């Protein structure tokens, strides 16, 4: 949701899900964490985009040819204002994610999953490398592992995440 460049990916996921070409395994903890962090995601994204437009505006002010410079700066200011007021790209991403969440079965958190996640913490195995609390990340991967045990071996499964620090080498 933070990165407006991911909108095409979110659209593709939603389309594939709606056509039956993709099944999403959605641990309930993902929905809980998303909802808990949604407002921070919105403000971080809007702040990041606003900062980006400020840098572009400064570059245009210093480097663009004089002819058309003022119009370009005015257009950039209008876009920055729009981002600050409605965060359209972020709102679109959140809307797609919430549609996916609303139309996907949420996999409940079980005591067995919690126990295996805690065992990871005690053993200091992935995703417990750093100092932060990684229990939600461990619950996500343990839920995925559980779900693999219930699926057909003829299908192809993948674990998709941007969180490469906790989930990959």
Q: What is the pLDDT of residues 103-122, one digit of tens each?
A: 999 999 999 999 999 998 89
Burial track 85-110 (b if 16+ CB lie within 10 A, e otherwise): eebebbeebbebbeebeeeeeebebe
- pLDDT of residue 91 exceeding 60, the answer is yes
What's the predicted TM-score (pTM) here?
Answer: 0.70
**Of residues 164 and 136, which shows the higher confidence score?**
136
Distant-in-sequence contacts of 131-137, Cβ < 8 A, 24+ apart: 134/166, 136/29, 136/33, 137/163, 137/166, 137/167
Model confidence at 87, pLDDT cuts 50, 70, 90, reads: low
Please tell me which of 34-38, 122-126, 155-159 the model is most confident about, judged by mean pLDDT. Answer: 34-38
**Of residues 125 and 35, which shows the higher confidence score?**
35
């Amino acid at each position: 949701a933070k990165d407006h460049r991911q909108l095409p990916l979110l659209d593709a996921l939603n389309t594939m899900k709606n056509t039956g070409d993709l099944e999403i395994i959605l641990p309930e903890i993902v929905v809980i964490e998303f909802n808990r962090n949604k407002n921070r995601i919105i403000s971080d994204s809007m702040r990041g985009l606003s900062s980006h437009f400020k840098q572009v505006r400064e570059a245009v002010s210093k480097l663009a040819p004089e002819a058309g410079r003022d119009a370009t700066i005015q257009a950039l200011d209008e876009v920055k204002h729009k981002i600050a007021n409605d965060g359209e790209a972020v709102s679109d991403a959140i809307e797609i994610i919430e549609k996916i969440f609303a139309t996907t079965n949420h996999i409940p958190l079980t005591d067995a999953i919690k126990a295996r996640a805690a065992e990871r913490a005690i053993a200091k195995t992935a995703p417990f490398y750093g100092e932060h609390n990684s229990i939600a990340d461990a619950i996500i991967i343990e839920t995925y592992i559980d779900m693999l045990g219930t699926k057909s071996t003829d299908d192809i499964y993948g674990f998709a995440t941007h969180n490469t620090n906790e989930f990959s080498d």
